[in-house]
Structure 1
Amino acid sequence: MEELPLVVVLLLLLSSLIVPLVLLDRKRRGRQTPPFSLLVVAGSGGHTTEILRLLSCLSESYSPRHYVLADSDKMSEAKIRSFEQKRAETFSESQFSLDRIPRSREVRQSWVSSVLTTLYSILYSLPLTYKRKPDLILCNGPGTCVPVCLSAFLLGLLRIKRTIIVYVESICRVETLSLSGKILYYFSDYFIVQWPDLKKKYPKSVYLGRIV
């Protein structure tokens, strides 16, 4: 895929920038973390609706839930708060948080400028991912998930925190992957597609039929 070289270059650059985090982590190893914390990447349009449908099937064992959304996303926060408010009616100790990061790429943004904004978004995501240290990242295609997942991947390479990355391609993608999917296909632990044609083209993927 033509996007892969850019991702590799970014990883090499960033690996030299976050070495100080390793030293800081050694001082904090004795601190307890949640048993199975979940980081969820929300996105504008139908991405947030789809990801919340997936979350509704999960038990309260996946807690706390840390939501990450783009700073220019005006609609997802209201949907998330409404979802969590209803969930709290069933699970009284339900916990969640909301964080925002710069959008890595806007609609119709040039590829040249996208390199810089993506790099900036990854750098911004690193301290956030380090702070949350999720056990699992769940995402379904918004551009915001790329810097978040790559920062988690880097922390895993540096043996700071091993995070399982689960990517669920949108139901709208029937024959081709989204740009986010083309990149994260190489970095996710579980890559789930909802159409059989995608499974044929991408053998690493897991086909489960329609799940949202």
Structure 2
Amino acid sequence: MKKKKIILICSDGGHLAQILELKDMFLTYDYLIVTEESPATLPLKEKYNIKYLKGRSKGQKRNLSFIYSLVVNAFLSLKILIQHFPKAIITTGSHTAIPMCLLGKISGAKIIWILSYARINSRAFSADIIYPFADRFIVQWPGVQKFYKKAIYLGGIY
């Protein structure tokens, strides 16, 4: 039987660490990890099925460089979606996942957003953008449900 295709997309760092905690899914599905290209993520290519998007300088928010990286990553995400064509896109955020989730939703993929473990009692800008479109919105702390009414609390990934 053919395995269902999924894409797990996230920024590097802690968001990626959370995705890698879902590695049991890698056996069940035809998975593809998509993250930012950086010196820390390049060695993962030896162990995982992975593709890279353009990274951004840390600290960038809502400025021209941020918008530029979103546009570039939208084109890269479209190419990846055409190649892998997933049934679902699972993400722990952040900004890197926005184009993939929006384009994936348009193409019929289910969107599952897992709010970062670091979000104990606050909103996330990228999550706010995807929240209205997400098929499932999962939080890892019960206190965050006050910000996201349709969120499901399932405990932490760790």
Does the TM-score normalized on the shorter chain lie above 0.5? yes
Which residue is 1:154 aligned to?
A: 106
Percent sequence identity over aligned pairs: 26
Normalising by the residue count of structure 2, what TM-score does the alignment of the two structures yield?
Answer: 0.85
Change in 2 beyond 3 A, CA 1:196/1:74: same
* Post-superposition offset of 1:181: 1.3
Where does structure 1 lack aligned partners over 5 or more consecutive residues?
Answer: 1-33, 85-96, 156-161
- Give the 3-state SS of the residue equivalent to 1:68 in structure 2: strand
Query: For 1:188 and 1:209, how far apart are their aligned partners in 2?
Result: 19
2:27 aligns with 60
Matched, 1:129 2:81: yes
Of residues 39, 53, 60, the one that matches 1:74 is 39
- In the other structure, the counterpart of 1:115 is 67
| CA deviation map 1:21-68 (0-9, x unaligned) | xxxxxxxxxxxxx54111111432122221111223x37231x21121
Which residue in 1 is equivalent to 2:137?
191
The answer to whether the 8 Å contact 1:137/1:165 transfers is yes
Q: Distance in 2 between matches of 1:179 and 1:122?
A: 18
Larger proportion of strand: 2
Q: CA RMSD in A?
A: 2.1
Moved over 4 A (4+): none
The count of aligned residue pairs is 156
Contact 2:78 2:103 in 1 (8 A): yes
Contact 1:42 1:76 in 2 (8 A): no
Aligned with 1:109: secondary structure?
coil
| Structure with greater helix percent | 1
For residues 57-94 of structure 1, give each alpha carbon's deviation from its aligned partner in whole angstroms, at most 9, with x where no partner exists. x37231x21121223x2212434644x4xxxxxxxxxx
Which protein is bigger by CA-based radius of gyration?
A: 1
TM-score normalised per structure 1: 0.65
Larger deviation, residues 196-205 vs 34-43: 34-43
**Offset at residue 112 of structure 1 (A):** 3.3
Offset of residue 199 of structure 1:
0.9
Look up the equivalent residue of 1:69 and give its one-letter code. Answer: T
